[in-house]
Amino acid sequence: MSERVAIGLDLGGTKLAGALVDESGAILARREQPTPAREGPGAVISAIAALANDLAGEARAKAREVAGAGLGAPGPLDPATGVVHAMPNLGEEWRRFPLGERLREALGGTSVHLENDANAAMQGEAWIGAAAGARDAVLLTLGTGVGGGIVASGLLVRGSRGAGAELGHVVVEREGRACGCGGRGCLEQYSSGTALARQAGEALARSPGGALAALGRAPTGEDVVAAARKNDELALSVIEAAGRALGVGLTSIVHALNPRVIVLGGGMGTAAFDLLEPIARRELFSRTFEASREGLSIARAKLGPDAGIVGAARSVFLARARAPERGLT
């Protein structure tokens, strides 16, 4: 049995989750609460600190040493400085926010390792999930938006300012839909759960009919997936379009990174994996070199919503292994 544990934390726009994770990746205790996002950074930081302290108490009760805390946060950030560039889902006050430093203060000097939430999820899946054992892997989380994570030669690719692996903003339609990032035609505009709902709504407006029209309300992404499973024609055509766009985005990603495993996660990516994967694979394989796709697999994420917590904990263990003097006990 592992003696050390890390506190893995996952900060979302609506939910704050945390767990004690041991060195094998097992979760020993977990906590979850709403994120007090509307109350501003001070309240959010206090909530994170309280949750972390609660888990630290639990660790003491289990006679485990706490190696440190890791936090996955929903925005581009620099793990080296602990500065968050922005967290749009939590509000404007978080632009260029020194979250690492403020959390360290709130935790009485305990250092906190920050990671972008999708990078943390990639780290989790690469550790004990669908990409375990792969030194080159990518993760796409298809949910409200599309997030991404990259592992190359066994290391997380964070980029020069921590803004790397934004794979939802790979361009799939050059003059396509405007995206919140300022660009056009980003993958996120075609293959997210939000995109599925919007495309179904647009298709219904053009020609109402089928299971989705019978709902009598605007369909959600989940509705589209459920209707597709019942062979609803309109839902199937929306899924086909999303899967093909995903394959186009994956083409650029695969040519750039030559991963061994592509992991599809997030709410929609996990729930609709069996529907989307064959379509995306067909598109991808029709557009790539043999050398790029040799040995390549596309896998459903294994860790579900725990990926970020587990990956954030993994970052703590890895950081300790690299620089033990910076950890905490």
Binding site for a second copy (CB under 8 A): 76, 85-86, 134-136, 148, 150, 152-153, 155, 157-167, 169-174, 181-184, 248, 251-253, 255-260, 286-292, 294-296
- Rounded to a whole number of angstroms, the minimum distance from the CB of residue 54 to a second copy is 32
Nearer to a second copy, 22 or 283 (CB): 283
Nearer to a second copy, 26 or 86 (CB): 86
Nearer to a second copy, 238 or 254 (CB): 254
Nearer to a second copy, 148 or 219 (CB): 148
Cβ atoms 10, 17 nearer than 8 A: yes
Q: How far is CA 89 from CA 74, 144, 145, in A?
A: 7, 11, 11
- Rounded to a whole number of angstroms, the minimum distance from the CB of residue 94 to a second copy is 12
Reference 122, options 310, 255, 327; nearest CA is 310
Nearer to a second copy, 182 or 324 (CB): 182
Triad 318, 130, 161: Cα angle to 5° = 45
- Rounded to a whole number of angstroms, the minimum distance from the CB of residue 262 to a second copy is 11
Kindly state the tokens that stand for 60. 């003491």
* CA–CA separation, 221 and 197 (whole Å): 5
- Rounded to a whole number of angstroms, the minimum distance from the CB of residue 110 to a second copy is 26
- 272 Cβ contact list (under 8 Å, min separation 6): 142, 225, 228, 239
**E strands, the chain, in order:** 4-11, 15-22, 27-34, 65-73, 77-78, 83-84, 112-116, 137-142, 146-152, 155-156, 261-265, 297-300
- Rounded to a whole number of angstroms, the minimum distance from the CB of residue 287 to a second copy is 4
Q: How far is CA 55 from CA 44, 64, 65, 260, in A?
A: 17, 11, 12, 36
Nearer to a second copy, 80 or 214 (CB): 80
Nearer to a second copy, 218 or 256 (CB): 256
Q: Tell me the torsion sign for CA atoms 99, 154, 305, 199.
A: positive
- Rounded to a whole number of angstroms, the minimum distance from the CB of residue 240 to a second copy is 15
How many CA atoms within 13 Å lie on the side-chain side of 142?
33
Nearer to a second copy, 9 or 257 (CB): 257
> Which secondary structure element, helix H or strand E, spans residue 220, and what is its range?
none
- Rounded to a whole number of angstroms, the minimum distance from the CB of residue 121 to a second copy is 16
- Rounded to a whole number of angstroms, the minimum distance from the CB of residue 40 to a second copy is 22
Q: φ, ψ for residue 141 (rounded to 5)? A: -100, 110
